[in-house]
């Protein structure tokens, strides 16, 4: 068999296995929307660990992180900073949200916030912002899957075809099995890609430099800028802002926050949070791969392609290249499936049901969520193609998405602990005004970064506007 045929065969075999694993739990959940969205609140520690941890191992991790280390050097360590800190608040917020979910039937973040703050419009705004944030994040995954297949098959499978085939498989098992399909495939995919990441992360420095230590010694001698903090082309302000906005937004991601409503118990949630930082360890080999590419004789077409580019240039056995291809697809799918499922669930439960007041039967709700998965996948696919041909980096896509979801933080905290923190009336209207203001400011500075007074992340300016409007409106409400 030719090299391309072997790579495609391994990739197809992996996709087939993922489909089988994803469809297996379809009979285990109830026919209700709660069963489809929250898995009847039955997820145990193993599945919870991988369904949350595998979110890190997205196309961003397998392609964006090595590409960022290759092009920006030590700036890549901002990922470890926010990853280690970002889930800590969930240790306290998760059990609180789970208790409210059991008491009131919440399965989405927006439904909880809108009910607790007595402002249905909050659910609609959160649904809109969630979908807007999820589409570029999902596009990142689809583009990554297509990019890997294109490079490793030497163009035989173009980006548009690779992304399409991979996410048709994701669409089938998410459509059929809901969150249980996501959980089971994430466990399978997570174990597979962790082993592969460490294998490649240690193998490439060894083959190219004789080990990790010699690699950094050579970099220090020939490219010291790659080892200087805060990284090439980054200021300290940009570095700190990227860590802060990502850490604050981490627990606010709806597809992560919703797992509070899926866990079997509070103890399971807290154990998941405690174990979660161990996934950061498995990002280290991916950083090593990026640094290994800095002195590689030939550059890739784009920084995000450095890992598959090196694999192709080193003329490794086709089966090994195929395994890497499968691992990269696992990274993409383990994040993309959760995002598509969450975005569709939020759009229907919060947008149609809570904000617009549509009375939906359990059957209709489940049917609409499934239809929403298809719509979100199509939007993500189109955005992925636009981003690919426009040359937008995976890191830039991710940071833009974090700027949107961090705007949920003030409203979520209020809904969990102090719904009437500002006077006798619930803080729903001030929270809504703050969220809208913060989202608009974020979008403004993403579109026009040159208008920012300081080189900070657009999401931080949005969060500042969010809190100021919330506090100001609350002061007026309290006096009235």
The mean pLDDT of 140-163, rounded to a whole number, is: 88
Count the alpha carbons within 13 Å of 284 in the hemisphere toward its beta carbon: 10
The mean pLDDT of 422-449, rounded to a whole number, is: 84
- The predicted pLDDT at position 379 comes to 93
Alpha-carbon distance 66 to 63, whole Å? 6
Q: How many CB atoms lie within 10 A of CB 254?
A: 26
Alpha-carbon distance 267 to 405, whole Å? 26
Strands (E), 10-99: none
Dig out the tokens for 319 from the structure: 């089966």
The mean pLDDT of 451-466, rounded to a whole number, is: 85
- The predicted pLDDT at position 375 comes to 94
Alpha-carbon distance 475 to 411, whole Å? 16
Q: Where are the domains of the chain?
A: 3-406, 420-480
The answer on pLDDT for 424 being more than 70 is no
* CB of 388 closer than 8 Å to CB of 382: no
The full DSSP string for 75-87 is GGGHHHHHHHHHT
b/e per residue 276-287 (b: at least 16 CB within 10 A): bbebbebbebbb
- The predicted pLDDT at position 42 comes to 64
- What would the 3-class secondary structure string for 168-212 be? HHHHHHHHHHHHHHHHHHHHHHHHHHHHHHHHHHHHHHHHHHCCH
Which range (107-116, 244-253, 291-300, 405-414) has the least confidence? 244-253
- Peptide bond preceding 230 in cis form (omega within 30 of 0): yes
- The predicted pLDDT at position 258 comes to 84
Alpha-carbon distance 123 to 316, whole Å? 51
Alpha-carbon distance 413 to 366, whole Å? 29
Alpha-carbon distance 337 to 184, whole Å? 11
Dig out the tokens for 274 from the structure: 């405690």
Alpha-carbon distance 365 to 421, whole Å? 33
Identify the CA nearest to 36 among candidates 269, 360, 344: 344
Predicted TM-score (pTM) of the model is 0.78
Alpha-carbon distance 147 to 73, whole Å? 22
- The predicted pLDDT at position 73 comes to 95
pLDDT digits (tens, 9 = 90+) for 25-47: 766 665 666 666 655 566 777 77
DSSP state of 263: B
The answer on pLDDT for 422 being more than 60 is no
Question: Does 1.20.1730.10 match the CATH number of domain 3-406?
Answer: yes
The answer on pLDDT for 437 being more than 90 is yes
């Amino acid at each position: 068999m030719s090299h391309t045929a072997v790579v495609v065969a391994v990739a197809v075999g992996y996709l087939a296995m993922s489909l089988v694993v994803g469809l297996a739990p379809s009979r285990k959940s109830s026919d209700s929307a709660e069963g489809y969205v929250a898995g009847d609140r039955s997820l145990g520690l193993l599945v919870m660990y991988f369904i949350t941890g595998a979110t890190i191992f997205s196309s961003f991790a397998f392609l964006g992180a090595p590409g960022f280390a290759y092009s920006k050097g030590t700036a890549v360590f901002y990922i470890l900073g926010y990853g280690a800190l970002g889930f800590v608040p969930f240790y306290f917020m998760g059990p609180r949200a789970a208790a409210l979910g059991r008491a009131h039937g919440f399965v989405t973040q927006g439904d909880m916030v809108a009910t607790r703050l007595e402002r249905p419009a909050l659910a609609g705004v959160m649904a809109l912002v969630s979908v807007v944030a999820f589409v570029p994040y999902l596009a990142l995954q689809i583009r990554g899957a297509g990019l890997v297949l294109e490079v490793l098959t030497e163009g035989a499978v173009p980006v548009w075809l690779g992304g399409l085939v991979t996410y048709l498989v994701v669409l089938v098992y998410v459509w059929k099995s809901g969150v249980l399909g996501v959980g089971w495939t994430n466990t399978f995919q997570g174990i597979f890609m962790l082993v592969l990441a460490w294998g490649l992360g240690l193998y490439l420095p060894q083959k190219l430099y004789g080990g990790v230590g010699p690699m950094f010694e050579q970099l220090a001698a020939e490219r010291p800028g790659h080892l200087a903090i805060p990284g090439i082309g980054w200021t300290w302000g940009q570095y700190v802002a990227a860590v802060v906005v990502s850490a604050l937004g981490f627990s606010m991601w709806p597809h992560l926050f919703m797992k509070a409503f899926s866990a079997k118990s509070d103890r399971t949630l807290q154990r998941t949070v405690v174990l979660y930082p161990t996934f950061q360890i498995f990002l280290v080999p991916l950083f090593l791969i990026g640094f290994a590419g800095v002195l590689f004789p030939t550059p890739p077409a784009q920084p995000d392609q450095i890992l598959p580019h090196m694999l192709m240039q080193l003329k490794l056995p086709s089966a090994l290249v195929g395994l890497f291809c499968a691992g990269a697809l696992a990274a993409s799918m383990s994040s993309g499936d959760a995002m598509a499922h969450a975005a569709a669930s939020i759009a229907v439960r919060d947008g149609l049901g809570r904000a617009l007041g549509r009375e939906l039967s359990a059957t209709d709700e489940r049917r609409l969520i499934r239809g929403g998965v298809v719509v979100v996948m199509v939007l993500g696919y189109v955005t992925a193609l636009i981003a690919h041909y426009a040359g937008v980096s995976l890191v830039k896509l991710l940071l833009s998405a974090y700027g949107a979801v961090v705007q949920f933080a003030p409203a979520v905290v209020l809904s969990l602990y102090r719904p009437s923190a500002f006077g006798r009336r619930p803080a729903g209207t001030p929270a809504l005004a703050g969220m809208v203001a913060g989202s608009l400011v974020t979008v403004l500075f993403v579109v026009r970064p040159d208008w920012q007074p300081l080189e900070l992340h657009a999401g931080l300016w949005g969060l500042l506007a969010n809190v100021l409007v919330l506090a100001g409106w609350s002061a007026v409400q309290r006096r009235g």
